[in-house]
A and B are shown apart, each in its own frame.
Chain A
């Protein structure tokens, strides 16, 4: 087969003194090769990065000075979420009560329930708006967007919030299908309330807080 036969006595008659060429085995020991093969497999399995990074859209509004171009929110449907230090969250509905009675704290786990609850509440108050519904239908969209048109989540990250907090919160908007939300700088009154509630800690010097607009 693969081995060369150097006997060369095909044409001759075999005499009694002529030695027969030993037939060599063509088998090769494959063990080292297979060993190496498996070693490489394990290496590639461990180094393979299977999940590729994804991206998430973020659209910010243009800064505008004109009052009539600003997005108006109904106080009844607004939910302000303040992202504070150490993964703490504070939230309130509508306007912040001067006494701070509607200023509550939450964690990233239970803020979802709060968003869902508020969204349901806004939808339950929905009065049929034929103009909006017709427009949505003509575009082939669902009318869910019209139902929650008064619902607005205002995300206010403080200087102590981490990037992960912000992304988590934006993700929460996608998860709960909140169509209207915005990233806004917190007001001084809110920062004070956070500090009073122990979320910002005494370390957050007032000078470090951004000026409220």
Chain B
């Protein structure tokens, strides 16, 4: 008697659609990813309910790291020369002369946290080496010798006529006096408006802001 042959079904599945989708996702991620520029000092910012997007052009940022060191960075990707001009002007106000040749290694958005007497040597280093140098931080503690005042004044001068945003980015564990010193330096330059950089967070349920945002949606 002939046995009924069980037909062997192929275990092969057509993977084409699956692979298609996978590559679609892959291309999405490749395009959507914006690589974080490597920061010489990691700063963990606090969370807030603020929803304003951080500007990344025509802004200067004052950063405070966890050791209460202050850094200054200029974000002007549309015109990198402005960043160089600010550094030159700030140094000039402190009696240090810098030329464009000194700043040939400067990159946009770089965090500079050196006192003016050490800035020339620091800027002469190639970028890869600069990232390894532990910077001293801009002196701010004593309001009479606060070098941050020069930095802000220089930024204001170079950007005169243009809109300039002041950003303050502080680490969670940095102490208040340093932030107070930044406020003080801003005040001395007659600047009262600035923005604090934070990470987004939802409004806590049940609060007034939560109700308002719920209504708005």
Q: Does B179 contact A (CB under 8 A)?
A: yes
Q: Does B15 contact A (CB under 8 A)?
A: yes
Contact B22 A41, beta carbon cutoff 8 Å: yes
Contacts of A158 in B (CB 8 A): 176
A151 to B33, CA, bound (A): 45
Contact B53 A54, beta carbon cutoff 8 Å: yes
Contact A165 B207, beta carbon cutoff 8 Å: no
Query: B156 to nearest A CB, angstroms?
Result: 16
A41 to B27, CA, bound (A): 9
The stretch from A18-26, A88-96, A169-177, A195-203 touching chain B is A169-177
A57 to B198, CA, bound (A): 11
Query: B173 to nearest A CB, angstroms?
Result: 6
Within 8 A of B (CB), among A99-157: 112, 116, 157
A164 to B64, CA, bound (A): 12
The stretch from B74-82, B88-96, B99-107, B189-197 touching chain A is B189-197
Q: Does A61 contact B (CB under 8 A)?
A: yes
Contacts of B25 in A (CB 8 A): 41
Q: A55-B195, A57-B195 are in contact. Are A159 and B175 (CB under 8 A)?
A: yes
Residue ID in chain B nearest A41 by CB atoms: B26
Binding site for A on B (CB under 8 A): 15, 19, 22-23, 25-26, 29-30, 32-36, 45-55, 64, 167-168, 170-180, 183, 186-187, 190, 192-200, 203-204, 207-210, 212
